[in-house]
């Protein structure tokens, strides 16, 4: 009889090798994101292609970038067969696929990328039923791959004012997996706390205010464009103070033009009528800040600020729209979201402008304003150049990191501007009186 040890050694070596390979790259799991609004629940699935291939065959990994075009019908049939939603009284919801695309995920341990199927669905309850309580039945991949898990996160809940909690460490993540005690996959019952229309609307107002508060580039563009507004211009040069009425009229026109511009594209972008890739928009916003800084140093479009403000306002509005489109809300909810979000933007914008403009007007009545304007324009142009470099390359730089660190101290900057304005106005007024005497 032959010695079985060599064969046993080969088997053990093979098992050890497989074990090490599987340990080195643990199987990625599926992610399920829920976006809850009064009319519907939007669902986004992220299914790793290596796991999906275990069910649909390894051939789907050949040319994965074209998979949703090549196998559109087969993928849609598979997904709709393995996901359902029901009301408390077991009434089925209407679940439809809105779009599919291929994207790249990444192994957490090795950062090696893999392809994944991303599916956007809409789940609409029967008339009269609420989205606050429902059951989600989902078993894609898991029905054949027993160690596969789907992690469910409620990414937004409009009626409770919960927006994008996935960015917080406290976000609830609920797994759907095989139950080994009874060898089945249990549906997930979701019971949300009661909210209201008012909570949802007011949360959109606060979201808009916070977006402007943290949106340094938006504010810097507008404030820099307002910097020369109190001044007269002659032969491509800024000259003296144009008067309070002249200043306020120009300021109001610029602010109104910017507001109309970003409100229009916010509406268009949030409703999905016109969608522009995020990166070009962010680069254009940085360019708008740079252009306004150059104009503050020397007039390049004097008397045409309202057209520049409205034009670049449209660009800024597309960036605003990205925040709302990520809510995936129904039509009625999206309408109220746009109204609330835009109201928050205008409210915060008016608060900041009201705290800056009086000091600009006061300071512009003194000879010191020229140095403040030129220094401010130079500083903003450097910052805008840093933003453009960061957004084109996708890499942070020391300048943009410094701006982010200084952002919490912006109110100190406004206080410094107020003190400087009062000091300069008092000094030059006293100097003028002394000269007259």
pTM of the model: 0.80
The confidence score (pLDDT) of residue 437 equals 56
Domain residues of the chain, as ranges? Answer: 26-195, 207-436
Cβ-based neighbours of 325, under 8 Å, separated by 6 or more:
269, 270, 272, 275
The confidence score (pLDDT) of residue 381 equals 93
Is-contact 177 149, C-beta < 8 A?
yes
Is-contact 342 325, C-beta < 8 A?
no
The confidence score (pLDDT) of residue 36 equals 94
What's the average pLDDT block by block, 10 residues per block, for the chain (437 residues)? 45 40 63 94 95 93 92 95 89 94 80 90 92 94 93 93 62 86 91 91 91 84 88 86 88 90 87 79 91 92 88 88 84 89 90 88 90 92 92 85 80 88 88 67
Q: How far apart are CA 367 and CA 369, in angstroms?
A: 5
């Amino acid at each position: 009889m032959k010695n079985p040890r060599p064969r046993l050694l080969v088997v053990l070596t093979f098992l050890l090798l497989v074990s090490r390979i599987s340990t080195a790259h643990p199987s990625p799991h599926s992610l399920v994101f829920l976006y809850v609004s009064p009319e519907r629940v939007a669902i986004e699935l992220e299914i790793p292609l290596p796991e999906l291939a275990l069910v649909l065959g390894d051939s789907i990994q050949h040319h994965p970038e074209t998979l949703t075009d090549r196998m559109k019908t087969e993928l849609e049939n598979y997904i709709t067969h393995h996901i359902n939603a029901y009301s408390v009284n077991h009434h089925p919801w209407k679940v439809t696929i809105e779009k599919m695309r291929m994207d790249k995920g990444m192994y957490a341990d090795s950062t090696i990328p893999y392809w994944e199927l991303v599916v956007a669905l809409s789940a609409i309850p029967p008339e009269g039923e609420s989205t606050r309580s429902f059951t989600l039945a989902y078993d894609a991949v898991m029905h054949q791959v027993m160690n596969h898990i789907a992690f469910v996160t409620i990414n937004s809940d409009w009626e409770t004012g919960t927006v994008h909690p996935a960015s917080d460490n406290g976000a609830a993540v609920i797994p759907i997996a095989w139950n080994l005690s009874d060898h089945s996959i249990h549906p997930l019952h979701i019971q949300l706390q009661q909210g209201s229309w008012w909570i949802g609307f007011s949360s959109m107002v606060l979201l808009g205010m916070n977006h402007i508060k943290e949106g340094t580039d938006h504010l810097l563009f507008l404030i820099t464009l307002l910097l020369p507004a109190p001044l007269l211009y002659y032969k491509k040069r800024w000259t003296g103070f144009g008067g309070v009425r002249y200043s306020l009229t120009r300021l109001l026109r610029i602010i109104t033009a910017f507001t109309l511009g970003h409100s229009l594209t916010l509406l268009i972008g949030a409703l999905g009528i016109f969608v522009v890739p995020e990166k070009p928009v962010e680069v254009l916003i940085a360019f708008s800040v740079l252009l306004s800084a150059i104009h503050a140093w020397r007039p390049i479009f004097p008397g045409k600020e309202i057209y520049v403000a409205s034009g670049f306002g449209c660009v800024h509005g597309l960036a605003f729209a990205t925040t709302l489109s990520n809510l995936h809300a129904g039509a009625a909810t999206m309408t109220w979201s746009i109204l609330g979000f835009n109201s928050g933007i205008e409210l915060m914008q008016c608060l900041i402008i009201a705290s800056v403009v009086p000091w600009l007007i006061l300071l512009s009545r003194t000879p010191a304003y020229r140095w403040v304007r030129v220094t401010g324009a130079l500083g903003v142009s450097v910052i805008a150049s840093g933003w453009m470099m960061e957004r084109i390359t996708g890499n942070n730089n020391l300048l943009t990191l410094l701006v982010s660190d200084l952002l919490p101290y912006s109110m100190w900057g406004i206080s410094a501007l107020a003190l400087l304005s009062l000091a300069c106005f008092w000094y030059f007024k006293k100097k003028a009186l002394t000269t007259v005497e």
